Chain A
Amino acid sequence: MEWLLLLCVLSPAVGCIINGLFGRWTYRAAGVIGSTFLGISFALAIPLIIYAIQGHIIDYDYYHWIISGKLDVPFGLRLDSLSAMMLGVVTFVSFMIHIYSIGYMGGHKGYARFFAYLNLFVFAMLLLCMGNNYLTLFIGWEGVGFCSYILIGYYYEKKTAADAGRKAFVTTRIGDVGFTIGILFIILYFGSVKFTDIFPQAHILPPMIATIITLALFFGATGKSAQFPLYVWLPDAMEGPTPVSALIHAATMVTAGVYMVARSAPLYALSPTGSLVVASIGAFTAFFAATMALTHFDLKRILAYSTISQIGYMMIGVGVGAYWTGMFHLMTHAFFKALLFLSAGAVMHAMHGILDMRLMGGLRHKMPQTCAVMIIASLAIAGIPPLSGFFSKDHILGEALMLGHPIIWMVGVITAFMTAYYMFRMVFFTFFGESRVPEGLHPHEAPNVMLVPLWVLAVGSIVVGAIFGIKMHGHIPIEHFISLTSPVAFPKVYEVNESLLIIISIVAGVLGIAVAWLSYIPKWAPKWRSWFVRTFHPLYRCCFNLWWVDEVYNCLFCRPFWHVSERFLWKVVDDKLIDAGVDDVGRIAGLAGKAVRILQTGFINNYAYWVSAGALIVCGWYLLKIM
């Protein structure tokens, strides 16, 4: 079984190597090759997941990677309920995205390169999820960071795309510093990075150290999972091709932080403070990002902010200690968010790259199928039963309340309302109302190679939540499954009537949709919209300008850094110190040459003189030694 697992993880890497090295010769087959290797990975994942569902655990060290003193870092993989779930989600959703990309990227420059990167991305994510120690996880962690950089900057000739890639890389790197510190603390206290060594003896940690470790690890997660202080890279990441956005947002990369927190559950369970920080940041991010999504006109950016917001929900789930709810939302979110992005990509494909919703409208006649799947996905994310988002979101909010965080629960409910609103604002804006499509543009339905993955994901968005989230035989399947690895950390505080909670979250979702309908569908909608904007003008401006977070960061961090770099590091350190030093070294060599040149007279006698003098000295030296 362990070799099957290795094969499953390595399969995308093989695809990457083939497309990366021989891309020049694979031509149009590149997409099929890339998808095939991911399909193999998915096919191999099925028996592994069944194996894990039966309760087995694989934990196998393939070889010893670093041995230094007592520290022994193996390259090993681990399959347990947590990673099995990730394995399924990542391979399946990525597989769908790969198939979709065959159609979407057809005819683009660098077709093979694109699939090589895509495969590498999935490989890194699999490594992250399946690693049995923190360093293997870290390699995958950095791998997805790197892949996001090259994929966001895929259109590298476009300056905005290249900048966005760099921003993503640098921002996540700031978080990675925290993550590294966390790992170093773990090595310091446990002398090992293997999960099986750390977690059974986690209780030896002093509470203070546990808090430091969990916060450091979570800081890494804020970078990778786009949480509050470090989320700024994610909206810019929309510069990449749409399948990449789908991959980053749904299956790989941003969910890494949630997975990592759930994986480190035994550590977080030791630190209520650390957990509370996770939950609070998650709640704040969920709310904050939702406000930013309210007013945007860019189709993909709305989805980007909604991702940040939804990851915030997951963080609430893992932060309050109910790890299974966070992971459950991760799974359902992977389906409907991939679906949203891919259908947004279909719209963009049809509109020849236009993403501004003000230039759309009435598209449901032109692309009915895309419209249908988009509505399904939006219903799912809005939390309307019986679609998948309802179950996971409801479980998160319910657990948050029951484990004693009523404020977080309230924030979550309000965010659910906003989520429903902005998603349906987007749907109504894009697909309903009058057509505002520019002259000469003829939107059309996407080709089948793109539609099939959309429908598969749509079916997933509908049923996944119900399959895993409904109570059966006295327990919820996903709760039971995930709790095998990461059990709920803290005791229940409140007993609440669950059906009341369900009604509240449904009302929030329906209300959001209703408000969106009222603001965009009726004849008098524009009037009351402008009245609203005028009345709440400051608030509207704040949301519309994204609370000026980018500007604040620019002033606080980028400018001072830039000034220090230019005024001090460049003008002083580089010019005066380094360059001058190099010049002086050169000058010394010149002077030395000048001094030695005196010896070169050109007269043979002089040379002979020096030769014989040298011979005498050598002979004299030996004579002295003998005597």
Chain B
Amino acid sequence: MQYYVPFLMVAFILFAVGAIGVLVRRNFFVVLMSLEIMINSAGLVFVILSYFSGTISGQVFFIFVAAVAASETAVGLAIAVLMYRVRHTVDVTEFSIMKR
């Protein structure tokens, strides 16, 4: 077994936690947070592999990823605000207008 595999396991667990959170939670904010976890788990993989391969590019990538994640969160929060204004709730199951 490669010596960096345990680190990758951490990243994988984080990703799984995020994914399950996105799938099962109803609160929009929690869904957003789970998304962040997923993104950061991917970032973590970048950093881990960059560290063990002795190159810097993975870490540079993570900077980009963090920037994209930040802007995405901003958009997500804006959506959350709008949702609350329309429905007075942030429960995602209430938003099934695509069905109709």
Contact = CB atoms under 8 A, between A and B. Distances in A.
Contact of B23 (A600, A601, A602, A608): A608
**Among A601, A605, A609, A612, which residue has the most Cβ atoms of chain B within 10 A?**
A605
A604 B99 CA distance: 10
A602 B24 contact: no
A601 B100 CA distance: 9
Contacts of B23: 605, 608-609, 612
A608 B96 CA distance: 14
A621 interface: no
A604 B92 contact: yes
B93 interface: yes
A622 interface: no
Contacts of A609: 23
Interface in B52-96: 92-93, 95-96
A618 to B, nearest CB: 15
A600 B22 contact: no
Interface residues of A, number: 9
A600 B97 CA distance: 11
B98 interface: yes
Given A608-B23, A609-B23, A612-B23, A602 B98 contact: yes
Contact of B93 (A600, A603, A608, A612): A603
Which range holds the interface residue count of chain B? 10 to 19
A608 B19 CA distance: 9
Contact of B22 (A601, A603, A608): A608
Contacts of B22: 605, 608, 612
Nearest to B20: A612
Contact of A605 (B92, B97, B100): B92
Contacts, number: 28
Contacts of A602: 95-100
A609 B31 CA distance: 13
Interface in B1-53: 19, 22-24, 26, 31
Contacts of B19: 612
A47 B92 CA distance: 93
Contacts of B26: 605
Contacts of B97: 602
Contacts of A604: 31, 92, 95
Nearest to B25: A605
Interface in A576-627: 600-605, 608-609, 612
Contact of B99 (A600, A605, A608): A600
B30 to A, nearest CB: 12
A609 B95 CA distance: 16
A601 B92 contact: no
A603 B100 contact: no
A190 to B, nearest CB: 72
Nearest to A616: B19
Contacts of A600: 98-99
Contacts of A601: 96, 99
Contacts of B95: 602, 604
Contacts of A608: 22-23
Given A600-B98, A602-B96, A604-B92, 12 more contacts: A601-B99, A602-B98, A603-B92, A603-B93, A603-B96, A604-B31, A605-B22, A605-B24, A605-B26, A608-B22, A608-B23, A612-B23
Interface of A: 600-605, 608-609, 612
22 contacts: A600-B98, A601-B96, A601-B99, A602-B95, A602-B96, A602-B97, A602-B98, A602-B99, A603-B92, A603-B93, A603-B96, A604-B31, A604-B95, A605-B22, A605-B23, A605-B24, A605-B92, A605-B93, A608-B22, A608-B23, A609-B23, A612-B23
Enumerate the 8 nearest inter-chain pairs by beta-carbon distance, A residue then B residue, closest first: A602-B99, A602-B96, A602-B98, A609-B23, A608-B22, A604-B92, A603-B96, A605-B23
